[in-house]
Chains A and B, each alone.
Chain A
């Protein structure tokens, strides 16, 4: 059985920048998504084809969901790119992470072999980056929606001790959100990867199938949870008084 590493392993270096196996799969996922994007863009017509219909169905579904959370179609359309990209990117990365070859294709590195590809979300840099982006962007959108001072006033409030204390708690909750978002995704995907590695090493045929389906499900659910938490956060930060 291969060695299970908590951190992504370095494959090679480009000018002092180390490219890890998870970054490598992240780039592959990006290439896949960009290819799909270009393919869809080239085939966009008023009467949709199969691919466009599928994309439109996804967009409509997500927009409806966002509409019900944000309470306005206009707001849903405004914040749609961020939520959709978070969901699609994490889901694609998670699904690519259970593709055959990920974890089993090995690359020579020094005296030992390391996996050529590793699920992006099984690297804390990936999940942490997404969590930080989610929290920072939601706060920026909050500032844009309710005003800079009104938004900062939620965290730093000297009106009375209770408001001040609540503000401090809000500030802590934002930091905690980064940790919870990043570690939830990392934990689920990493655990799945470890589980699959163990199962594959114990019984390589048929038995891992249910676990693969479970990982497909977990991969999609985790992407959905991440996107939904970001959406709810946007909804809370951009809500003006009376909404």
Chain B
């Protein structure tokens, strides 16, 4: 009866085994040619995507850090520049004062020098005038003497006598 049922249903152990073998061959072929390579590709791609996302996140963090650093540096540079400007201004003022003092001293020196020169020149001029006057007097006397020395002597004697009398 069992055999009749099996025969009626068409169950044949050879066909049954061949279907099984066929399935396992196909399982092997599909695993080797499709599943493993494709799963590997999918995994690689997912890893790359994950890696890319992580790198993007990292880059974003670094960018924000760099941004913060640049902001800090700009702030620091601004502060430093302000300090430098202040220091320069102070130095400039000090230098200005020093230069002003120097100029004043120089002016004083120059004035003194000019005064000295003026006095010297005045003295020299005076000397020259005196010298010229002496020469002129001398020449005048010579001229006078050359004209009538006796009259002059007489006049001078008379003047001297009158002065003596008066005294």
Taking Cβ atoms with an 8 Å cutoff, the residues of A that contact B are 5-8, 17-18, 20, 23, 26-27, 30, 33-34, 36-38, 40-41, 44-46, 48, 52, 55-56, 59-60, 63, 77, 80-82, 84-85, 88-89, 120, 123-126, 128-130, 132-133
User: Min CB distance, A130 to chain B, in Å?
Assistant: 7
Say yes or no: A33 contacts B44, CB within 8 Å: no
Q: Is the CB of B10 within 8 A of A130?
A: no
- Contact residues in B for A124 (Cβ distance below 8 Å): 9-11
Binds A, one of B18-26, B71-79, B85-93, B119-127: B18-26
Q: B38 contacts A56, CB within 8 Å?
A: yes
A124–B5 Cα distance when bound, in Å, is: 12
- Chain A nearest Cβ from B121, distance in angstroms: 103
Which of B15, B17, B31, B44 is in CB contact (< 8 Å) with A123?
B15
Query: Which interface residue of A37, A55, A84, A125 has the most chain B CB atoms within 10 A?
Result: A125
Closest residue of chain A to B26 (Cβ to Cβ) is: A30
Give complex CA distance A41, B42 in Å.
14
Residue of B nearest to A5 (CB): B10
A7 touches B9 (CB 8 A): yes
Q: Among the listed B16, B23, B29, B35, which residue makes an inter-chain contact with A34, where contact means beta carbons less than 8 Å apart? A: B29
How many Å lie between the Cα of A26 and that of B11 in the bound state?
16
Contact B38 A59 (CB under 8 A): yes
**Chain B residues with Cβ under 8 A from A46's Cβ?**
41, 44-45, 48
Which chain A positions have C-beta within 8 A of B45?
Answer: 46
In the complex, are the beta carbons of B33 and A84 less than 8 A apart?
Answer: no
Give the interface SS of chain B, mostly helix, strand, loop or mixed.
Answer: helix
A-B pairs, top 3 by smallest CB distance, nearest first, are A7-B10, A129-B19, A37-B33
Cβ-defined contact, A6 with B37, below 8 A:
no
- Let me know if A23 and B18 touch, CB within 8 A: yes
Q: Which residues of B contact A77 (CB under 8 A)?
A: 39
Tell whether, in the assembled complex, residue B26 and residue A89 are in contact, meaning their CB atoms are under 8 Å apart: yes
Contact A41 B25 (CB under 8 A): no
Pair B19/A23 contact, Cβ less than 8 Å: yes
Which residues of the partner chain B approach A132 to less than 8 Å between Cβ atoms? 16, 20
Q: Mark B114-158, 1 if CB is under 8 A from A, else 0.
A: 000000000000000000000000000000000000000000000
- CB of B63 closer than 8 Å to a CB of A: no
Please give, as numbers and ranges, the residues of chain A lying within 8 Å of B56 by CB-CB distance: none
Q: Is the CB of A125 within 8 A of B19?
A: yes
User: Closest chain B residue to A17 by CB distance?
Assistant: B14
With the chains together, A52 CA to B45 CA distance in Å?
A: 13
| Chain B residues positioned under 8 Å from A38 (CB to CB) | 33
**Is there a chain A Cβ closer than 8 Å to B34's Cβ?**
yes
Q: A82-B27, A128-B11 are in contact. Are A41 and B22 (CB under 8 A)?
A: no
**Bound state CA distance, A88 and B30, in angstroms?**
10
CA–CA, A216 and B115, complex, Å: 128
25 pairs, CB–CB < 8 Å, chain A vs chain B: A6-B8, A6-B9, A6-B10, A8-B15, A18-B12, A26-B19, A30-B26, A37-B33, A37-B34, A44-B38, A44-B41, A46-B41, A48-B41, A80-B39, A81-B27, A81-B31, A84-B35, A89-B26, A125-B12, A125-B15, A126-B19, A128-B16, A129-B20, A130-B19, A132-B20
> Whole-angstrom distance between the alpha carbons of A45 and B9 in the complex?
47
Looking across the interface, which residue of chain B has its beta carbon closest to that of A127?
B19
Closest residue of A by beta carbon distance from B11:
A124
A contact residues around B33 at 8 Å (CB): 34, 37-38, 40-41
**A7 CA to B26 CA, complexed, in Å:** 24
Interface core residue of B11, B18, B45 (most chain A CB under 10 Å): B18
Cβ contact within 8 Å between B20 and A55? no
- Alpha-carbon distance A115/B94, docked complex (angstroms): 117
